Amino acid sequence: MATPDSATNDAYIRDLPLLARLPDDDLKALAARGRVRRFAAGTTIFHEGDPGDALYVVVEGRVRISRISGAGGEATLALMGPGDCFGDLALFDGRPRSATATATSVTRTFVVSRDDFVNWVRERPAASLALLETLSLRLRRTDETVTDLVFLDLPHRLAKQLLTLAASLPEGDARKKQRIQVTQGELASMLGVSRESVNKQLNQFAREGWISLSRGAVTIQDAQALRTFD
């Protein structure tokens, strides 16, 4: 079932929030235009400033979207897992990549070129509305990130981030245990603070009994406390 012919490709995009609620025929038409690409762990998928001419859907693995500062720092804008898609902005406005995408584990992606996508969407007004809705929701989330950065201190931003990560955990075992696979350095990069500060605050939460820590993971013990502490 891993054969990348057009008859099976539509499975890759069927459960995509970006494209959900589209008729089956439309999905198949899009799937037929795409192809599969694999990336090893640590590989750069595309880089800030590159010409942007394709949409990627994560089939398997993990991708980090980040931006780099002049002074060598790096801010993580998002983490993508199976079913998420990225590189879509370039599709709509034809501008260069505004961020860098890196595979943080072995990753399989489904790729659709800009031309193919635009042609496909031009004939499907319903798809456009779904896309508008998706972008709209992303814009809301980003606006919220901005106000969080302005209003909230590190402890509250960290608690919120942990809860968000827990909510986006895949169904099943890890979900129930509320075990988030993330290093403290990654958390720091998402929050725009130093790794050391994250470490100190996590241990603070752990002392309260709200979370427990292990190498490469945080487990939430008391989500309610994280939501309402002050």
Partner DNA sequence: CTCCATTCGAGATGCGCATCACAGAGTGGT
Partner DNA sequence: ACCACTCTGTGATGCGCATCTCGAATGGAG
| Residue number with CB closer to a second copy (178 or 186) | 186
| Residue number with CB closer to a second copy (89 or 217) | 89
Is residue 25 part of the contact set for a second copy (CB under 8 A)? no
- Residues whose CB is less than 8 angstroms from the CB of residue 176 and which lie 6 or more positions away in sequence, other chains included: none
Is residue 98 part of the contact set for a second copy (CB under 8 A)? yes
| Residue number with CB closer to a second copy (26 or 133) | 133
The listed partner (DNA, a second copy, none) that binds 132, CB under 5 to 8 Å by sort, is a second copy
The listed partner (a second copy, DNA, none) that binds 23, CB under 5 to 8 Å by sort, is none
Is residue 163 part of the contact set for a second copy (CB under 8 A)? no
- Position of tokens 């013990």? 221
| Residue number with CB closer to a second copy (1 or 151) | 151
Among 5, 93, 171, 173, binds a second copy (CB under 8 A): 93
Is residue 137 part of the contact set for a second copy (CB under 8 A)? yes
In whole angstroms, what is the distance from residue 189 CA to residue 186 CA?
5
Build a one-symbol-per-residue string for 63-82: x at contacts with a second copy by CB under 8 A, - elsewhere.
----x-xxx-x-x-x-----
| Residue number with CB closer to a second copy (198 or 211) | 198
Is residue 145 part of the contact set for a second copy (CB under 8 A)? yes
- Residues whose CB is less than 8 angstroms from the CB of residue 54 and which lie 6 or more positions away in sequence, other chains included: 87, 90, 91, 111, 112, 113, 114
| Amino acid in the structure at residue 30 | L
Is residue 118 part of the contact set for a second copy (CB under 8 A)? yes
Contact assessment for residue 28 and residue 15, using Cβ atoms and an 8 Å cutoff: no
List residues near DNA by CB under 7 A.
153-155, 183-185, 192-197, 199-200, 202-203, 213, 215-217
The listed partner (DNA, a second copy, none) that binds 155, CB under 5 to 8 Å by sort, is DNA
Q: Please choose, out of 29-37, 87-95, 106-114, 218-226, the segment that lies near a second copy by the rule CB under 8 A.
A: 87-95
Give the residue among 105, 122, 190, 125 at the shortest CA–CA distance from 154: 190
> β-strands 35-39, 107-113: how paired?
antiparallel
| Residue number with CB closer to DNA (115 or 144) | 144
